[in-house]
């Protein structure tokens, strides 16, 4: 049984269908790249999984919990989902340590020692052990993105969603950072869905790739499968753009 199960998920904005019967079955601990051109519905898919947009039809399940489907719509903050936005979106008045600690709520994190230990662990993991007292204004773009990742992972979410996490960064920084991010996700055994329009990024860091176009998933497979046996001529052209 897969860990994340999305079945027949449809979303429309008014009359405009944006996602049409999207299905994904994601094993636990998998890093999945959602790859497709601008406007194909990638961000809307993440937002629907996070409970930030209403769904017209279908289901979202994570672990043994139904999060969306039928009459059920679990509130975003109760989904156990971490979110890494495009632009880090750190709290400017909080330090790095306070930003990372922000999501540590609930019974598991009541002890100040447990909270402090988790913050130290995450700050070390993203290479910012020496920066915990800084504020976001004192960080580079890449460092800010690493804090956003640490903040999302701190409470051990069941699923982490990353929306084009490298797109605002200098191209020179992107390649090393995406490797670091993949390493941190694997270290934490996180199940992750990462949206990108960058073929190379998807192929280099994901366990599986979901290729989207026009609100549909055209192909699901490992990077090698998608690259070597594209499902359609369009996928071949789109994925082939990378070389």
Residues near ligand ADP (CB under 6 A) are: 13, 18, 36, 38-44
Strand partners, 196: 35
Smallest distance from ligand ADP to CB 217, Å: 12
Smallest distance from ligand ADP to CB 109, Å: 32
CB nearer ligand ADP, residue 39 or residue 124 = 39
Smallest distance from ligand ADP to CB 42, Å: 4
Q: How far is CA 150 from CA 5, 10, 40, in A?
A: 25, 31, 28
CB nearer ligand ADP, residue 38 or residue 92 = 38
CB nearer ligand ADP, residue 13 or residue 91 = 13
Residues 6+ positions from 213 with CB-CB distance below 8 Å: 36, 37, 40, 234, 238
CB nearer ligand ADP, residue 36 or residue 82 = 36
Smallest distance from ligand ADP to CB 38, Å: 4
Lookup: tokens for 26 = 């994601």
- Listed in order, strand segments (DSSP E) in the chain are 4-13, 16-26, 31-35, 57-62, 65-69, 72-73, 81-84, 159-163, 192-196, 208-213, 216-221
What distance in Å separates the CA atoms of residue 228 and residue 66, rounded to the nearest whole number?
Answer: 35
CB nearer ligand ADP, residue 41 or residue 157 = 41
Asked if 135 contacts 94 with a C-beta cutoff of 8 angstroms, the reply is yes
Smallest distance from ligand ADP to CB 60, Å: 16
């Amino acid at each position: 049984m897969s860990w994340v199960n999305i079945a027949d998920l449809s979303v429309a904005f008014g009359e405009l269908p944006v996602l049409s019967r999207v299905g994904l079955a994601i094993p636990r601990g998998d890093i999945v790249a959602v790859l497709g051109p601008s406007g194909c519905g990638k961000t809307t898919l993440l937002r629907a999984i996070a409970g930030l947009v209403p769904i017209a039809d279908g289901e979202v399940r994570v672990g043994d919990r139904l999060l969306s489907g039928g009459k059920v719509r679990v509130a975003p903050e109760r989904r156990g989902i971490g979110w890494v936005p495009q632009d880090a979106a750190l709290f400017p008045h909080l330090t790095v340590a306070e930003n990372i600690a922000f999501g540590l709520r609930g019974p598991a994190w009541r002890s100040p020692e447990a909270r402090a230990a988790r913050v130290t662990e995450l700050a070390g993991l993203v290479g910012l052990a020496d920066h915990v007292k800084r504020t976001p204004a004192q960080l580079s773009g890449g460092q800010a993105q690493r804090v956003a990742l640490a903040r999302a992972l701190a409470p051990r979410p069941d699923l982490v969603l990353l929306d084009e996490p490298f797109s605002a960064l200098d191209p020179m920084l992107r390649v090393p950072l995406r490797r670091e991010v993949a390493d941190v996700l694997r270290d934490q055994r996180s199940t992750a869905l990462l949206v990108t329009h960058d073929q190379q990024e998807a192929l280099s860091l994901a366990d599986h790739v979901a290729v989207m176009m026009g609100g549909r998933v055209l192909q699901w497979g490992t990077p090698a499968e998608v690259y070597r046996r594209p499902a359609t001529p369009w996928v071949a052209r789109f994925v082939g753009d990378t070389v």
